[in-house]
A and B are shown apart, each in its own frame.
Chain A
Amino acid sequence: MTVSTEIIPLLVVVLLLLSASGGDVERMEVVFEGTHPVTAVDDALVVGGGEVTVPAGTTVEGQLYVIGGALVVDGRVRGDVTVLSGTASVTDGAVVTGRLDAVAGGATVADGATVGDLRRVEPTPAGRSPAVRYGFLAAQALALAALTAWLSRRRPRALATVGDSVVNHGLVSGVVGLLAGATLLVLFVYMAFTLILLPVSVLGLAGLVVVLGYSFAVYGYLLGRRLPVERVDAASALGAAVFLLALELLGTVPVLGALVQFALVGVGFGAVLLTYFGLHEFEPARIPE
């Protein structure tokens, strides 16, 4: 039996959650296939596939995570159940003393079942009200605009240098950005599996977000220069908000929109790296005719 690669990021999430809650990842058990009645859990149990049942009349103590397959609780769970993918069902008369977090996948709780705290997360934008969606976008745009305005006041030359790389060296910026971005992203995910490097992995992922945010500020600066606003910081801030909105709108165009988004992100990311965050102008190697 081979588990799909998609389960790996979910395993990383489980590792992060378990580490954060003080659990011992070394004692974590993972089930990938078959039918298993569980009567005891060391510290944490991850259901990655197959079906795991807590039989009626049995009490298990620990954290249960579902990232694939099915978890059926007929007995008693003294701890939390987190569903990231797959399904969890708490049947009539069964008890979960802690929380049942249904982040994704399916979670059903029978009328006669007892759950300490049931939380359902609706991560899909479609589930949000338009006010929440647009409010969230506006908050992001405001934050980006504030960052761009600050950078354009304090580091205008750096933004201009990165912008020059975006405009004049778009191809090499895109290639470097996509190559480095994809490589680093996967590398940081894999780092998490070493457990020792888990903090480095989190830091690395945060670093990627910083580079991305910086590149968005550069796009804002570039757009701002073309807007009929005199003050550079105000123009850049407005440009950043317009850029974010344009990126969001591009997402509504099937296939092509995503490709353009991808290219913009790649070019921006690469330009930031190539210019050392705008500290050094990128000069391609000179090739004689």
Chain B
Amino acid sequence: MTPYDHLQRRDWGAAFGLLLFVALMTAGYYYNVTFVQLGLIDLGVRLVGMSRAAVSVWMAVLALLTFVVAVGFGVLMDRRGWSTNLRAKLRVLFLVVVVQLALTLAAPTVRTVPAFAAWILAASVALGVGFPASFSLAIDCVPVPDRGPVAAVITAITYGAANAYPVEWSIDAFSRLMVVAMVPGVLVLGLLVSGRVRPVERLLDDLSGRHRRHGTGRFCRESPVETRSVGFLAPVMLMFGVFFVDSLGFLRIIETPALILTAWQSPSMETRLLIAAAHVVGAVVAGVLYVNFDLEWLFLWVFALFSVTYVFYTSDLRLAAWLPASGVGSGSVLNPAFYSLTVSVYTTLNFALWPDLSTAETVGTRTAVGVGMAGWLATFCSTAAALYLDGAAVPLLTHLNLVQALALLLVFGLAVALYARRTVQVARTGREGSP
């Protein structure tokens, strides 16, 4: 079944659900990767006058608080039964978007450290409440077989737009853009939760019962997966590793003008379009891989891609050290393009994975723990590690070498773990079969 099949069968409820999920997740993720991740650095450094390290500490606080709030709210959602109540989730999201709109409008006016801290606290609460509420919509809106392709579409649109559409990396530019995008979003969500538009109510009624069919995710169908079991915790730890590797490397890359000005902040439209295209290709690749391979293979792909990405970066830097006159190491657009492809692959996996590791009754907690641990806690830890390395004046090559070693270790470790598991299975089968 593809999204096109829903339209062909005139299943408007399913088509509306997919559209709603893609729109909400795309908007939310775009807000996160642009306004939160890039805009706050500019706000703290340029407008508030803090040091880069101090802003990084506050970003880490944001990540940690978001994680705590998300887990708390996710558990609350499951206990109160909000996870299976579509209208309740939409009402929560409406409130979250209204708060975020207010925060977005207020951000460029922040000038003092206490105001910046208050802003961070409020944003953490909004983000923490928002993402279990939004991720859990998957059980109402996205049939299990569609989750890979839908995740690919969200990733492709988000990163494609973020890279192809030229926005200055400043809080003012991000704020203006986000306000323009959020106002219609608030109106649409307001319409959805108003309860007064009959056709909308019919669509929501249709969607409300779908969690009974779509609620049990792909990886929970054959046997139930407990939150404290290896079946759930192993993907959480692996995804933590993925985000940690990415964040630790990228934090250093964006602080290196030679690397960032020839890639994500390049004045050349062609370069940015190439990076956007790499993101779209990566998302499509991940969408195809997700529906054809089991989870362990997907993680192996991601770690292998990260390893190769950092081999490229470190090889260029080594070459530049060996042949200083060559200028290699700063100019190749292949490295950021490959990096972008890799990021799209794991982002797609992240969007599809957590609902597929949940049931309708556990989706709040699982998505909160999954995205929170992997996304936010990993960011917190990697920021701390990056600050430590920065303080120790570790050179760029050594820093990226460390990230590469970590990626290689993870790909090797995972391969060994899979092989060991298979060996144990074979040994058990042999024992059972022996006389």
Q: Which residues of A contact B (CB under 8 A)?
A: 1-5, 7-8, 30-33, 48, 169, 171-172, 175-176, 179, 183, 186-187, 190, 193-194, 284-285, 287-289
Per the 8 Å Cβ criterion, residues 276-312 of B in contact with A are 284-285, 288-289, 291-294, 301, 304-305, 308, 311-312
Question: Which of B291, B311, B331 is within 8 Å of A190, CB to CB?
Answer: B311
Would B330 and A2 count as touching, CB distance under 8 A?
Answer: yes
Would B319 and A287 count as touching, CB distance under 8 A?
Answer: no
Assembled-state Cα–Cα distance A109/B288 (Å):
56
List the A side residues contacting B218 at CB < 8 Å: 287-288
Would A193 and B325 count as touching, CB distance under 8 A?
Answer: no
Question: Which of B144, B325, B328, B338 is within 8 Å of A8, CB to CB?
Answer: B328
Would B145 and A289 count as touching, CB distance under 8 A?
Answer: yes
Beyond known contacts A33-B325, A175-B284: 12 more, CB 8 A cutoff: A2-B331, A3-B331, A8-B328, A30-B325, A30-B326, A31-B325, A171-B288, A193-B318, A287-B145, A288-B144, A288-B221, A289-B145
**Nearest CB of B to A285, in Å:** 5
Would A172 and B331 count as touching, CB distance under 8 A?
Answer: no
User: Chain A: which residue is nearest B297 at the CB level?
Assistant: A285
Would A190 and B312 count as touching, CB distance under 8 A?
Answer: yes
**Nearest CB of A to B74, in Å:** 24
**Nearest CB of B to A25, in Å:** 10
The answer to whether B393 has its CB under 8 Å from any CB of chain A is: no
Assembled-state Cα–Cα distance A33/B326 (Å):
8
Residue of A1, A7, A287 most packed against chain B (CB within 10 A): A287
Would B144 and A287 count as touching, CB distance under 8 A?
Answer: yes
**Contacts A284-B292, A288-B218; is A1 near B327 (CB within 8 Å)?**
yes
**Nearest CB of A to B287, in Å:** 9
Can you report 11 A-B residue pairs in the complex whose CB atoms are below 8 A from each other?
A1-B327, A2-B327, A8-B319, A31-B325, A33-B325, A172-B292, A187-B311, A190-B311, A285-B293, A288-B144, A289-B145
Summed over the interface, the residue pairs from A and B with CB atoms below 8 Å come to a total of 75
A-B residue pairs, 6 tightest by C-beta: A2-B331, A2-B327, A284-B292, A172-B292, A175-B288, A32-B325
Per the 8 Å Cβ criterion, residues 131-180 of B in contact with A are 143-145
Would A193 and B319 count as touching, CB distance under 8 A?
Answer: yes
List the B side residues contacting A285 at CB < 8 Å: 291-294
**Nearest CB of A to B228, in Å:** 24
Assembled-state Cα–Cα distance A8/B312 (Å):
12
Would B292 and A32 count as touching, CB distance under 8 A?
Answer: no
Interface SS of B by simple majority: helix
The answer to whether B392 has its CB under 8 Å from any CB of chain A is: no
**Nearest CB of A to B276, in Å:** 18
Assembled-state Cα–Cα distance A169/B292 (Å):
9
The answer to whether B334 has its CB under 8 Å from any CB of chain A is: yes
List the B side residues contacting A194 at CB < 8 Å: 315
Assembled-state Cα–Cα distance A235/B52 (Å):
69
**Nearest CB of B to A231, in Å:** 36
Would B315 and A190 count as touching, CB distance under 8 A?
Answer: yes
User: Chain A: which residue is nearest B323 at the CB level?
Assistant: A30
User: Interface residue tally of chain B, by bracket?
Assistant: 20 to 34
List the B side residues contacting A176 at CB < 8 Å: 289
Would A172 and B289 count as touching, CB distance under 8 A?
Answer: yes
Would B144 and A3 count as touching, CB distance under 8 A?
Answer: no
**Nearest CB of B to A143, in Å:** 32
The answer to whether B332 has its CB under 8 Å from any CB of chain A is: yes
List the A side residues contacting B312 at CB < 8 Å: 186, 190
Would B332 and A179 count as touching, CB distance under 8 A?
Answer: no
User: Chain A: which residue is nearest B304 at the CB level?
Assistant: A183
Residue of B218, B327, B330 most packed against chain A (CB within 10 A): B327
Assembled-state Cα–Cα distance A30/B315 (Å):
17
List the B side residues contacting A2 at CB < 8 Å: 327-328, 330-331
**Nearest CB of A to B210, in Å:** 13
**Nearest CB of B to A283, in Å:** 9
Would A289 and B285 count as touching, CB distance under 8 A?
Answer: no
Would B315 and A172 count as touching, CB distance under 8 A?
Answer: no
List the B side residues contacting A32 at CB < 8 Å: 323, 325-327
Would B289 and A175 count as touching, CB distance under 8 A?
Answer: yes
**Nearest CB of A to B225, in Å:** 14
**Nearest CB of B to A249, in Å:** 28
**Contacts A285-B293, A287-B145; is A172 near B288 (CB within 8 Å)?**
yes
**Contacts A175-B289, A187-B311; is A48 near B334 (CB within 8 Å)?**
no
The answer to whether B197 has its CB under 8 Å from any CB of chain A is: no
List the A side residues contacting B332 at CB < 8 Å: 5
Assembled-state Cα–Cα distance A183/B325 (Å):
27
Would A5 and B144 count as touching, CB distance under 8 A?
Answer: no
Per the 8 Å Cβ criterion, residues 94-153 of B in contact with A are 143-145
Per the 8 Å Cβ criterion, residues 205-220 of B in contact with A are 218
Question: Which of A3, A190, A287, A288 is within 8 Å of B326, CB to CB?
Answer: A3
Residue of B289, B293, B315, B333 most packed against chain A (CB within 10 A): B315
Would A183 and B305 count as touching, CB distance under 8 A?
Answer: yes
Per the 8 Å Cβ criterion, residues 401-419 of B in contact with A are none
List the B side residues contacting A7 at CB < 8 Å: 326
List the A side residues contacting B292 at CB < 8 Å: 169, 172, 284-285
**Nearest CB of B to A45, in Å:** 13
B261-284 interface code vs A (CB 8 A; 1 in, 0 out): 000000000000000000000001
List the A side residues contacting B333 at CB < 8 Å: 5
Assembled-state Cα–Cα distance A7/B332 (Å):
11
